[in-house]
Amino acid sequence: MNLTILGCYAATPRSLTNPTAQVLEMKNRMFLIDCGEGTQVQLRKNKLRFSKINHIFISHLHGDHFYGLIGLVSTFALLNRQNDLHVYGPKGIKEVTLLQLKLSNSYTGYNLYFHELESKESQVVFEDDKVVVTTIPLIHRVYTNGYLFTEKPDDRKLNIEAVQKYKIETCYYQKIKSGSDITLDDGRTIPNKELTFDPPAPKSYAFCSDTVYNEAIVPIINNVDVLYHESTFLESEAHLCERTMHATARQAAAIAKQANAGKLILGHFSTRYGNIELFKEEAATVFENTELADDGKVFKL
């Protein structure tokens, strides 16, 4: 599981910083999360393959989180994309995207599907045989969701020495890996735990941007391996959170601690601050295993 930060700063792009976008690689899938201005340029800079992105998750309809979408959709068309593209986001994402394609006469040659979200309750929005994606309802100035990406458990690992010891035929291997006990020809039943090893524990990643401090999300993200949580302000500017509906680094750390997260990654920094290390220092007083996002940074999880 790898996370590449394409952009992690709030509000506006600058010469050296980009608005929110990141790529999560999980179980050989590549998910794009948010798509601020400059996303496709950042994809190229980070040498990420456009063609592997089949699912895009937009948290909310503020420009610094989706203004790069129409450019990316159009570039996919220019590159003669053939694969279907699925876009998940708030109701309105379809209208705003299709209007731009219509007025620019730039319809895609590939299938473009929109999955518009309105529920204020957590719901599964994507699932295949390897990964489940669930919404995390957030509180912001407009309808907003975070996303929880969770691996499905792998098959159990075959203990070759054990199956050979009991002279079990290879045609039963998949059944054993799926968790079944095996009955031998002499009537003995061999418990699955004797024939297999536990697979690696499934990993999970939660993306939470933008939001005020909101303890209601804790049960949804409980025991998450990695939590990305917005930290627009430091505590010295906490008075701005109520008006802008953002959070501080200390508040993000409090959520991580309550959720028993394995790691906290801070992002969505206000550009008023010249030194983002201050965010880590503040959060670490509450939750020690804290790291900072930054444009181009890759977390190997």
Considering the domain architecture, whether residues 224 and 264 belong to the same structural domain is answered as yes
Considering the domain architecture, whether residues 129 and 162 belong to the same structural domain is answered as no
**Selected catalytic residue, list 34, 64, 225, 295:** 64
125-129, 199-203, 232-236, 278-282, range with the lowest pLDDT: 199-203
Kindly indicate the confidence band of residue 155, based on its pLDDT and cuts at 50, 70 and 90: confident
Report the pLDDT value the prediction gives residue 175, as an integer from 0 to 100.
93
Q: Does 64 qualify as catalytic in the annotation?
A: yes
Task: Give the end of a domain, one of 133, 168, 197.
Answer: 197
Considering the domain architecture, whether residues 210 and 97 belong to the same structural domain is answered as yes
Q: Domain of 178?
A: 157-197
Considering the domain architecture, whether residues 238 and 132 belong to the same structural domain is answered as yes
Considering the domain architecture, whether residues 36 and 69 belong to the same structural domain is answered as yes
Q: Convert the pLDDT of each residue in 250-266 to its tens digit.
A: 999 999 999 999 999 99
> 113-139: string of b/e by CB count within 10 Å (b at 16+)?
ebeebeeeebeebbeeeebbbbbbbbb
Considering the domain architecture, whether residues 72 and 189 belong to the same structural domain is answered as no
Considering the domain architecture, whether residues 126 and 103 belong to the same structural domain is answered as yes
Mean pLDDT over all residues of the chain? Answer: 96
Report the pLDDT value the prediction gives residue 134, as an integer from 0 to 100.
98
Domain count, the chain: 2
Which has more confidence, 94 or 199? 94
Report the pLDDT value the prediction gives residue 295, as an integer from 0 to 100.
97
Considering the domain architecture, whether residues 136 and 66 belong to the same structural domain is answered as yes
Report the pLDDT value the prediction gives residue 88, as an integer from 0 to 100.
98
Average pLDDT value for residue range 51-74: 97
**CATH code of the domain in which 236 resides:** 3.60.15.10
Q: Is residue 110 pLDDT above 90, yes or no?
A: yes
Report the pLDDT value the prediction gives residue 15, as an integer from 0 to 100.
87
**What percent of the chain is modeled with pLDDT above 90?**
93
Considering the domain architecture, whether residues 89 and 7 belong to the same structural domain is answered as yes
Q: Convert the pLDDT of each residue in 195-240 to its tens digit.
A: 999 988 999 999 999 999 999 999 999 999 999 999 999 999 999 9
Q: Is residue 301 pLDDT above 90, yes or no?
A: no
Considering the domain architecture, whether residues 139 and 103 belong to the same structural domain is answered as yes
Considering the domain architecture, whether residues 82 and 6 belong to the same structural domain is answered as yes
Considering the domain architecture, whether residues 111 and 239 belong to the same structural domain is answered as yes
